[in-house]
Amino acid sequence: MWLFLPILFISCNALKILQIVPGFTNSHVLFNYRLAETLKFLGHDVKMWTQMEMAMLDTGNNRLPEGVTEHRIAIHFKDKLKTEGLKVFQSLMFSAGDAYDLWWTGQEFKDMRVEACAQMLNHDPEIFAQFQAENFDLAIAHFHDLCPLAIAEKIGVKKVIWITHGTSIYDFAAVQLGLRTLPASVPHPLSSAGFTLSFWDRVFNLLWHLSLLDFVNLPQNLLYDENEYYRGVVEADKPDLWDLSKNVPALLINGERMLDFPRPLPIHITFSGELGLKKAAKKVEFDEELRTILEQPSKGIIVFSLGTVSNTTNMPEQMIKSFVGAFAKLVDYTILWRMEGKVEGANSLKHVHLLKWIPQKDIMKLPNMKLLIAHGGYNSFLETAQAGVPAVLMPLFADQKINAMRAQRFGIARVVDKLHLTPEIVLEAVEDVLNDKSYTIRAKKLSQMLTDKPTNRPYSTLNYILKLATSDTKYYTLQAAQKLSFIEFYSLDVFVIVSFFIGVLSLDTR
pLDDT tier for residue 191 given thresholds of 50, 70 and 90: confident
Band of residue 35 on the pLDDT scale cut at 50, 70, 90: very high
Beta-carbon count within 10 A of 48 CB: 22
Share of the chain above pLDDT 90, in %: 52
pLDDT tens for residues 385-444? 999 999 999 998 878 888 999 999 999 999 999 999 999 999 999 999 999 999 999 999
Q: Are 273 and 459 in contact (CB under 8 A)?
A: yes
What pLDDT score does 280 carry?
59
- Residue 486 carries which side chain, given as an amino acid letter? F
Is the pLDDT score of 176 beyond 70? Answer: yes
pLDDT at 485 over 70: yes
Q: How far is CA 225 from the centre of its chain?
A: 24
Question: Each residue of 259-278: pLDDT tens digit?
Answer: 988 888 999 999 998 888 77
Give DSSP secondary structure letters for 442-483: HHHHHHHHHH--S--STTHHHHHHHHHHTS-GGGTS-HHHHT
> Is 383's pLDDT higher than 80?
yes
Q: Helices (DSSP H) in 122-185: which residue ranges?
A: 125-132, 147-155, 171-174
List, in sequence order, every residue forming a beta bridge with 255; answer none if it has no partner: 273
Cα angle, residue 194 at apex, residues 337 and 104 outer, rounded to 5°: 70
Residues 13 and 308: their CA atoms lie apart, in Å, by: 37
Q: What is the DSSP string of 279-301?
A: PPP------HHHHHHHTS--S-E
Contact 320, 340 (CB under 8 A): no
Residues 111 and 78: their CA atoms lie apart, in Å, by 11
- Amino acid letter for position 48: M
* CA distance linking residue 66 with residue 56, whole number of Å: 23
Higher pLDDT, 75 or 455: 75
User: What is the per-residue pLDDT across 85-119, written as a single tens digit (0 to 9) for each?
Assistant: 556 666 667 776 655 666 667 777 788 889 999 99
Q: What per-residue confidence (pLDDT) applies to 46?
A: 98
pLDDT of residue 11: 53
How many helices, marked H, and strands, marked E, lie in the chain? 22, 13
Residue 165 banded pLDDT, cuts 50, 70, 90: confident
Q: Determine the Cα–Cα distance for residues 308 and 297; give it in Å rounded to an integer.
A: 29
pLDDT, averaged across the chain = 86
pLDDT of amino acid 67:
94
As a whole number of angstroms, the distance between CA 214 and CA 222 comes to 10
Residue length of the chain: 510
Interval 43-54 mean pLDDT: 90
Compute CA 423 distance to the chain's CA centroid, rounded to the nearest angstrom. 31
Region 335-356: mean pLDDT is 91
290-326 confidence digits (pLDDT tens): 999 999 999 999 999 997 667 677 788 999 999 999 9
- Model confidence over 126-143: pLDDT tens digits? 999 999 999 999 999 998
What pLDDT, on the 0 to 100 scale, is given for residue 9? 42
DSSP letter for 176, please: G
